[in-house]
Structure 1
Amino acid sequence: MPGTSRSKAGLRCGDARQVAREALSARGVGERLLDDVLTVVAELVSNAIRHAGGVTGFSVRCLPDAVAVEVSDASPVLPRSPGTPVEVPGGFGWLVVNRLAARTEISADHSGKTITAYVPLTGDARGA
């Protein structure tokens, strides 16, 4: 399932979801996978907006075994899991992303980070 969908920097969550929906619907992706990808898109984009000053790059790519959702922002601060540290709220979106994705990759440097989440085309990454 080759193909790429890219969007401009500074996009909002609803716009990112629409780009992803159009790209995946055109390829005949099933509703369950579409829902999972749209959830990952929403979590990564909203986290970039909320915690990192906004999105600087976004793409959705169809690979042979997964849909890759890639979101970049200008903050080098890495996502964290809930309760780390316990007095700081949040982290639940990152938990959701890692629950739906078979794997996630983060590349970061002083100018920001890029998070790529791979949502599997078949099987169920949940509970893995």
Structure 2
Amino acid sequence: MIVSKVTDSSAPAPTVVRGSSHASIHRAREATRAFTDQLSPSPDPALADTLVLVVSELVTNAVRHGGGRYTLELSAGPSALTVAVTDPNPAHPRERTPDLNGGTGGFGWHMVRDLTNDLTITPGPGPGKTIHGSLPR
């Protein structure tokens, strides 16, 4: 489910996406692209691509490791694009050595950490957690 509110362009309303399946990961990417497309001024295409990648990694991890469902919130300010992904699992992401040969992953959390600023993890709501990150505009 995608929820988007329209307000003045100086402070666009957050875009919220909820998902609970692997198919919803694609919808989260599409919603992120639509979010960046409606911003004024438009972010640099490389920044928009980076935001889509960060969202993809965070919602994929939420589906795979975070309890199978998530809420994604995207927002923008004059100096940053922000992403917050909430899932029902209180466990923080863990770093693991990327699997270069077996295809079992291990790249996502490293990428998210490298691509975002001010990456934080907060408890809740309920038993879960929210991962917040920002990308400078």
Over aligned residue pairs, what C-alpha RMSD do you find? Answer: 1.8
Misfit runs of 4+, over 4 Å: none
Give the match's secondary structure for 2:11: coil
**What stretches of structure 1 of length at least 5 have no aligned partner?**
84-88, 122-128
TM-score, normalised via structure 2 length: 0.76
User: Does the Cα contact within 8 Å between 2:85 and 2:130 map onto a contact in 1?
Assistant: yes
TM-superposed deviation, 1:8:
2.8
Q: Distance in 2 between matches of 1:44 and 1:95?
A: 11
User: Aligned pairs, how many?
Assistant: 116
1:43 pairs, out of 57, 64, 83, with 57
Which digits, 9 at most, give the CA deviation of each residue in 1:17-38, with x for residues without a partner?
1111101111122210011100
Structure 2 gaps, min length 5: 1-9, 98-103
Paired residue secondary structure (1:8): strand
Normalized against structure 1, the TM-score is what? 0.81
Counting aligned pairs with the same residue, the percent is 32
C-alpha contact 1:8 1:57 (8 A) present in aligned 2: yes
* Structure 1 position 2 matched with structure 2 position 18: no
Give the whole-Å Cα distance in 2 for the aligned partners of 1:100 and 1:73. Answer: 21
For 2:107 and 2:96, the matched residues in 1 are separated by 6
* Residue among 98, 101, 118 paired with 2:134: 118
